[in-house]
Amino acid sequence: MAVKRTRMLAGAMVALTLALVLWLATRPPPLTIQGEVSSDRVDISPRAAGRVVGLAADVGDTVEKGAVIATLESPQLEASLLAARAALAVAQADLARISSTRPETIAARRAELSAADADVRLYAETYDRQSKLIKSGFSPQARLDEATRNLEAATRKRETANAALKLATEGASPEEKALVAAQVKQAEAALHQREVDVAELTVHAPISGQITTRVAGVGENFSAGAPIFSLIDLNDVWFTFNLREDLLGGLKVGDRFTVTIPAFKGREVPVQVSLINVQGQYATWRATRATGDFDLRTFEVRAKPVEPIQGLRPGMSAIAAWAARDR
């Protein structure tokens, strides 16, 4: 009886062992996803075309925001800057000309008005004298008509002299002054544009980071918008994973999980999801039904380290046990 019981127990153990081996053999392997470290990359290019005359940075250099990294020259822009300055000087001189009159001109106009006043007084006296003489019959009508014409001509001459003095004193009309003032503003705007263009020949780093690519060489001509350097921001890095939509499992922004970084000897780093965005391509085709199969979309999942990590660089791999993620 004891032998029979021992055999039965041994058989049960063997059957249990075989079942365990079969379960382990048929169990799907744990899901592991791989991503990489990413960061913002900035392609730095001049806004104005020119020839490179100086490079202050090279691949691998770390630069601060605002630092000069390249200098270009453009004789055409320098010439246009001089032309814009000259155009502004002309416009300002024209505005000064119509806004004021030389003192000598004003004095001459005052003298002309004084002479015209004297003529009016003289012809007025002559007219009065002829009027009295014609009433007494001692002067013909022709003399009175002549005195009348002379008085009227002297009066018109005084009006003209008075208008000339006013024009010399006040300058041009308000409309003319407004027009020339607008031309000055236009010349100032053109000069400012040329100054900005010339200033753009000195290229500054838009952010702090590390130079990863240098396209420019001293003496080369670059058009506006052509990249000279590429710069990455090492102060803002994240992990990027591309997942099929059936693997998201309700993942949302703010969730946390742990990744392993091979470059840091398998160091585990807690990360937090910052972005879930659909990609333009599809994941590997996967049958979901025997009939009516369809494709599954791929989503980009970004996760940032919870704490800053020194030495983390774009391109490094990151691995996560997705089935065992903690979120």
Q: Name every residue whose Cβ is closer than 8 Å to that of residue 101 and which is 6 or more positions away in sequence.
A: 168, 169, 171
Per-residue pLDDT of the chain (327 residues; tens, 9 = 90+): 566 566 666 666 766 776 665 655 555 556 788 889 988 888 888 888 889 999 988 888 889 999 999 999 999 999 999 999 999 999 888 887 776 666 666 677 777 778 877 877 877 777 777 777 776 666 677 776 677 787 788 788 888 878 777 776 766 667 777 888 899 999 999 999 999 999 999 999 988 888 888 888 888 888 888 889 999 888 889 999 988 887 887 788 888 888 888 888 888 889 999 888 887 654 444 444 444 555 677 888 899 998 888 888 888 888 888 764 444
pTM of the model: 0.59
Tokens 């599954």 found at: 296
The pLDDT of residue 181 is 86
The pLDDT of residue 194 is 92
The pLDDT of residue 185 is 93
Burial class (CB in 10 A: 0-12, 13-18, 19+), 70: buried
The pLDDT of residue 324 is 45
Cα 308 to Cα 40: distance, rounded to the nearest angstrom: 16
